[in-house]
Amino acid sequence: MGERYLWADRLCIIQDDADDKKSQIEAMGDIYSSAQLVLVAAYGDSMEYGIPGISAPRKAAQHSEDVLGLRITNVIRDAEDDPLNMWDTRAWTYQEAVLSNRRLSFTDTRAFFECERLICHEDQFNLEEIRNELFSARLSIPEDGSRFQSFTRHLKHYTSRNITYRSDAHKALYGISMSLYKGTDAFLNGLPVVDFDRALLWYPDIGENVIERHEAQGEILPTWSWSSVMGLSDPVHYRAADFYGALAPWYHINHRVESSGSIAALNVDPDSELDDDWQVYMAIAIKEECVRNVSLAFSLATDTFPTVRDLFTTHWKDYHSFRSEALPLTIMTSELPRGISTDAAEKGLIVTEAQTAFLRVTPRPSSSLDIINSEGDIIGGFCGDAAKLREQAISPGFNSHAEFGFISLSLSGAKSYSEDISPKTYIDVDGNSLNKAPIVNVLMIANSGGFSHRRELGWIYLIDWAKLRREWRTIVLE
């Protein structure tokens, strides 16, 4: 092929040198994106297996015969659910597919070439010109709209794959992560810092496992990070809803301590784009006392939505200025729970000052659960099936009156196709209603020894959240 160099991870990374391995993993994005061609051994269960058709003959071969003026050719088909077809299922190989510009893959039946425009098969008369996953495997596509949407799309694909060591959860996605978000401090335990408020809104699709903090080989996978469920065969999803802004600031407990004895909040992207009318939704959230120590003088009984938007804009010209001025930029170390100090804190801890409420849950007939208030009214639900929590809720020993802690995260908007949401939205003086009912993204938490850990992601209608008995608390998530 005329190429001078061949790079193979098993040979070119010094496997027993931690520093070399770290630097090479951090260079994965450049390695794969700069390669002239990536050779993919797409079949086999180990590096000793070899390459079908090169190391050993393949099981199937294509033959052609001319019969009565016609060319008769057998069609080569891949076996379904072949346990040795592992390349498409491994977490470590996902970034090869995403970051490489050209790939030459070898399976047990054929070799084929891929680039961004087409696919060429070794076997004749193969009608597959574009692989189904090729389009979604690109680093970014027009449908993404933003780099965060690209990140969530890849996270869904990535977390559906298998990983041998859960401690590698962040490393095997490093090339893609760094290609989307530049900078050594761009991520905090797998979540992009500048989009941290949105990045917290992940949930396991099925939720069959109890979410637990995991530590191994120097890597910490806290419960608030998607990495805590990586390797559990439960793909991570993000809620498909408009996003209007954060309701609580987040602080990294290992962040630099200011001379005043405070910890600075995590930064947000100055160019953050929010959905239409976010000013109106956030203004209503402020009116409902969902943002601490901030007020706006308006009433929907006398003002229209455009008036509310203009009033909001006179205070904050954009979302970045709103978040910087309305949400506290620092938290005093004296406000942290007793026994937690910044110089001795464990890694992977984040802190917030958020509204909390205690609520009940009830299982739905088929899957997932509803969130109910003290009167038994349904005011929200959970994202995904929340199968483990539902299993507990339908068990004979479950106390149906038990209350669980929820903290508010951010504000979104969503339409409901199963019920009339008119009682759940807001109407201005002219009788106009919001296009989408505002919802509060909430996190169900459990507490242990002064720390909290994530259980499930849910949502509650803002109009119902505002009626609850809420209190502001300092929460440390591990």
The Cα 351–Cα 249 span in angstroms is 8
The Cα 342–Cα 345 span in angstroms is 5
Summary mean pLDDT of the chain:
89
Element (H, E) at 64: strand 64-67
Q: Which two tokens stand for residue 452?
A: 């909290």
- Residue 220 in domain: no
Tell whether the model's pLDDT for residue 216 goes beyond 90. no
Contact between residue 382 and residue 443 where contact means Cβ atoms under 8 Å apart: no
Lookup result for tokens 């903090």: 213
Exposed/middle/buried for residue 253 (C-beta within 10 Å: 0-12, 13-18, 19+): buried
Last residue of a domain, one of 137, 169, 204: 137
Contact between residue 92 and residue 172 where contact means Cβ atoms under 8 Å apart: yes
Q: Are 113 and 259 found together in one domain? A: no
- Residue 114 in domain: yes
The Cα 272–Cα 372 span in angstroms is 33
pLDDT at 118: 81
Last residue of a domain, one of 114, 137, 160: 137
- Residue 225 in domain: no
pLDDT at 79: 76
Q: Are 328 and 454 found together in one domain? A: yes
Q: Are 418 and 276 found together in one domain? A: yes
Exposed/middle/buried for residue 123 (C-beta within 10 Å: 0-12, 13-18, 19+): middle
The Cα 407–Cα 144 span in angstroms is 29
Quick one: average pLDDT of 450-471? 95
Last residue of a domain, one of 121, 137, 153: 137
- Residue 65 in domain: yes
pLDDT at 314: 95
pLDDT digits (tens, 9 = 90+) for 310-367: 999 999 999 999 998 888 888 888 777 776 766 656 678 999 999 999 999 999 988 8
Q: Please give the C-alpha separations between residue 402 and each of 13, 149, 381, 387, in angstroms, as whole numbers.
A: 53, 37, 16, 18
Which residue, 109, 88, 93, is CA-closest to 38?
Answer: 93
Tell whether the model's pLDDT for residue 229 goes beyond 90. yes
Quick one: average pLDDT of 293-300? 93
Quick one: average pLDDT of 161-166? 93
- Residue 142 in domain: no
- Residue 50 in domain: yes
pLDDT at 300: 96
pLDDT at 261: 73
- Residue 322 in domain: yes
Q: Are 326 and 445 found together in one domain? A: yes
pLDDT at 170: 94
pLDDT digits (tens, 9 = 90+) for 124-152: 776 666 555 545 678 888 888 899 999 99
What is the domain range of residue 81?
Answer: 9-137
- Residue 98 in domain: yes
The Cα 215–Cα 212 span in angstroms is 10
pLDDT digits (tens, 9 = 90+) for 17-43: 989 988 998 899 999 999 999 999 999
What is the number of structural domains in the chain? 2
Tell whether the model's pLDDT for residue 256 goes beyond 70. no
Percent of the chain with pLDDT over 90: 60
Q: Are 295 and 410 found together in one domain? A: yes
